[in-house]
Amino acid sequence: MREKILAFIEKNSRIEVKELAIMLGVTEEAVLNELEAMEQEHVICGYHTLINWDKTGIEKVTAMIEVRVTPQRGMGFDKVAERIYNYPEVESVYLISGGFDFMVTLEGKTLREVSQFVSEKLSPLDSVLSTKTNFILKKYKDHGTIMAEPAKDERMKIAP
List residues binding other proteins (CB under 8 A).
4, 7-8, 19, 22-25, 151, 153, 155-160
Decide whether 25 or 74 has the Cβ nearer to other proteins. Answer: 25
What contacts 108, CB < 8 A, 6 or more positions away? Answer: 60, 61, 63, 89, 114, 117
Decide whether 124 or 160 has the Cβ nearer to other proteins. Answer: 160
Decide whether 16 or 82 has the Cβ nearer to other proteins. Answer: 16
Q: CB 51 → other proteins: shortest distance, Å?
A: 19
Q: CB 147 → other proteins: shortest distance, Å?
A: 16
144: helix, strand or coil: coil
Decide whether 24 or 30 has the Cβ nearer to other proteins. Answer: 24
Decide whether 26 or 38 has the Cβ nearer to other proteins. Answer: 26
Tell me the C-alpha to C-alpha distance, in Å, between residue 103 and each of 44, 66, 93, 113, 130. 23, 5, 6, 19, 12
* Rounded-to-integer distance, Cα 60 and Cα 58, Å: 6
* Rounded-to-integer distance, Cα 2 and Cα 103, Å: 30
Q: CB 151 → other proteins: shortest distance, Å?
A: 7
Q: CB 50 → other proteins: shortest distance, Å?
A: 16
* Rounded-to-integer distance, Cα 55 and Cα 155, Å: 28
Q: CB 153 → other proteins: shortest distance, Å?
A: 7
Q: What angle do CA 74, 42, 29 make, to 5 degrees?
A: 160
